[in-house]
Amino acid sequence: MEIALVGAGAAAVGLLDALATTSLARVRPGLITVFEPSPHLWRGRPYGPDLDTVLVNAPPAIMSIRHGDPGHYAAWLGESGAAHLDDLLGQPLVPRHRYGDYLAATAEAALRTLRANGWRTRIARARVTGVERRGDRLAVVAADGGRYAADQVALCVGGGEPRDLYSLAAAPGYVHEPYPLARTLAPIPADARVAVLGSGLTAVDVVVSLAARGHTGPITMLSRSGLLPHVWQRPSGHRPAHVTAERVATAHREHGTVPLGHLIGLLRAELAEAGEDFDAFAADLLAAGTEDPVRRLRRQLRSVGDPRIGRRVLQETAHTVGPYAWRLLPESGRARLRRHFRLATSVASPMVPVNAATLLRLLDAGRLTLVPDVRAVEATGGGFAVTAGDSAIHVDAVVNAVNPPPQAVPRAAGELVASLVSGGLAAFHPAGGVVPADPRVQVAGDLAGGGPFITSGIPGIAAQAARTADAMLTLARDESSEAPATLR
Ligand SMILES: Cc1cc2nc3c(=O)[nH]c(=O)nc-3n(C[C@H](O)[C@H](O)[C@H](O)COP(=O)(O)OP(=O)(O)OC[C@H]3O[C@@H](n4cnc5c(N)ncnc54)[C@H](O)[C@@H]3O)c2cc1C
């Protein structure tokens, strides 16, 4: 059995960990090859070396890469977490590069376990450009032309890159890919007028890091919606009893589908049991579209310790139960949720309180401005002209923080995906992303077609990695039981 994992980010780590910790009984040990061209193995786009101000954006319980073991990351962090305590959240929030250390440690441990079980493992520092059929086997093709035999291939290539909405790629002073901020922010003079394109989590990273570098010039966050991410609340220890995968599975078994109304009913029951009013909760969420974002931010910061569970349940289950429920939703429910994409993203991917406090401090000091309704950004030769609503502003530098839509094909995997699709091994999903068209191919991570309309967080990635490992081992077991006795 030869297994190829393409990409070595969080999804590949979750997959290797699941392979190593699942029972390998009845699977003949073979060879696992991991393909990754980046020098920062196991870290993917988010968790490579960068500034200490670039933090993970979720508490430890939902940063575990081991599905079913929410304490796995916290256990690794151990006492070292105390040095990174977010006082408002009461939880450690480490720099993302430190979380990358956790991913690397988990991957290395998994490889050791696999080797102890008789597997051979190797890392190929190469970008994969294709997968070919070779008789009844597959061959993975690397960018240098190398070919590697494989019986199963898992794509763990991540999501897309930032979008250049205003065609500024060639303009001096424009930063297209903001990470690593340690490199991209360095050339920006401290007194420059800086516009950050976007108002999501990446934009928050940029603003907070500019401030930490001592930036004195005015900073403007530009977006169409003007919506900021919501703010995490202190974990309360509440475990959802209604919004659970089991309850969703039961509904699916009983009715053959899980309409959006049913999911809303589960949340309503969850809140009712805690004595909370669902309608008031929903009205507050929907008000995000019209409420002044600075006022809302201030209110959210004040309610970090609010004991009500509504937002906590939604934020947690969006990443744990959400990806599973999404696949069972009728199209009408999906379309309804997609219409609330910005709001859903701002709720499901909140910012950490320490960053929210920095933003508010900058806003109150007049050093940061939020500008909604952006219509155009043009390079003027030596700067940029921004048209927003009826006004125009001029800035010296523009940092792009516009993230790709979920299920976008990353540039580095473009040729690979084209090769899989043209070879009939995978297909594009009508709603975006890629789905396998052959049992020997798996897709894990954001590229997986039919996945949720919001970008996956670690819990979604971990759950999918565990399912992928399960599917790969099941196929391997089936094949070894069919193999001639002499091969067993
Ligand atoms: C900036 C950012 C910050 C995030 N922060 C958080 C967070 O704090 N908490 C949270 O829960 N979620 C966060 N997420 C969401 C999620 O955790 C990450 O997106 C996660 O890294 C996804 O893992 P992945 O393995 O699917 O993709 P990636 O981590 O992007 O890894 C994909 C890997 O595949 C490689 N690759 C691509 N194409 C090829 C090819 N053709 N051949 C070989 N290798 C290839 C790439 O080089 C890369 O290393 C964040 C996402 C981003 C973008």
Q: What is the CATH number of the domain that holds 148?
A: 3.50.50.60
Whether residue 308 lies inside any domain: the answer is: yes
Tell me the mean pLDDT in the region 373-398. 93
Average of per-residue pLDDT across 202-216: 97
The mean per-residue pLDDT over the stretch 321-345 comes to 92
Q: For residues 457-481, give the mean pLDDT.
A: 88
Distance 10 CA to ligand 1 centre (A): 6
DSSP 429: -
pLDDT at 478: 75
Do 336 and 435 lie in a common domain? no
Q: Give residue 391's pLDDT.
A: 87
Look at residues 400, 435, 468 and tell me which one is the last residue of a structural domain: 400
Angle at alpha carbon of residue 91, lines to 89 and 92, rounded to 5°: 125
How much is the pLDDT for 25?
A: 62
- 53-94: per-residue pLDDT in tens? 999 999 998 899 999 999 999 999 999 999 999 999 999 999
Question: Which tens digits make up the pLDDT trace of 168-199?
Answer: 999 999 999 999 999 999 999 999 999 999 99
Nearest protein CA to atom 15 of ligand 1, as residue = 457
pLDDT at site 485: 37
Lowest pLDDT segment from 172-176, 305-309, 316-320, 476-480 = 476-480
Residue 166 falls within a domain, yes or no? no
What atom in ligand 1 is closest to the CA of residue 129?
41
Residues 87 and 46 in one domain: yes
Q: Which of 297-301, 371-375, 476-480 has the lowest mean pLDDT?
A: 476-480
Q: Examine the fold and report which residue of 321, 348, 375 is the final residue of a domain before the chain moves on.
A: 348
Task: Identify the residue whose C-alpha is closest to ligand 1 atom 10.
Answer: 457
Distance CA 141, CA 423 (A): 13
In angstroms, what is the span from residue 193 Cα to ligand 1's centroid? Answer: 31
Question: Is the pLDDT confidence value at 349 over 50?
Answer: yes
Q: How confident is the model at residue 320 (pLDDT cuts 50, 70, 90)?
A: confident
In a shared domain, residues 297 and 395: no
Which of 24, 23, 32 shows the shortest CA–CA distance to 5?
A: 32
Is the CB–ligand 1 distance for residue 157 below 6 Å? Answer: yes
Which whole number is the average pLDDT over 145-163? 94
Position 465, amino acid: A
What pLDDT does residue 160 have? Answer: 85
| Domain total of the chain | 3
Classify residue 238: in a domain, yes or no.
no
Taking the centre of ligand 1 as the mean of its atom positions, its distance from the CA of residue 290, in whole angstroms, is 33
Mean of the per-residue pLDDT values for the chain? 93
Instruction: Tell me, yes or no, whether 196 and 325 share the same domain.
Output: no
Q: Does the pLDDT of residue 354 top 90, yes or no? A: yes
Give pLDDT tens digits for 303-315. Answer: 999 999 999 999 8
Spatial distance between the Cα atoms of 103 and 78, rounded to a whole number of angstroms: 15
Residue 484 pLDDT: 43
- Whether residues 152 and 279 fall in one domain: no
Ligand 1 lined by 97 (C-beta under 6 Å): no
Q: What is the per-residue pLDDT for 224?
A: 85
Whether ligand 1 lies within 6 angstroms of the CB of 321 is answered as no
Q: Among 168, 230, 59, which Cα is nearest to 401's?
A: 168
Write down which residue in 313, 348, 383 finishes a domain. Answer: 348
184 lines ligand 1 (CB under 6 A): no
Cα(170)–Cα(173) distance, integer angstroms: 9
* Mean pLDDT of the 245-267 span: 94
* pLDDT on residue 482: 57
User: What is the residue with the minimal CA distance to atom 12 of ligand 1?
Assistant: 457
pLDDT class of 24 with cuts at 50, 70, 90:
low
Residue 237 lies in a domain: no
Contact 448, 433 (CB under 8 A): yes
If you count DSSP H runs as helices and E runs as strands, how many of each does the chain have, helices first? Answer: 16, 20
Looking at the structure, tell me whether residues 63 and 136 fall in a common domain: yes
Question: Which residue's CA is minimally distant from atom 44 of ligand 1?
Answer: 7
Look at residue 403 in the predicted model and tell me its pLDDT. 86
> Are 191 and 277 in the same domain?
no
**Predicted local confidence at residue 487, as pLDDT:** 33
Please tell me the least confidently modeled range out of 145-159, 289-303, 418-432, 453-467. 453-467
Domain of residue 305, residue span = 245-348
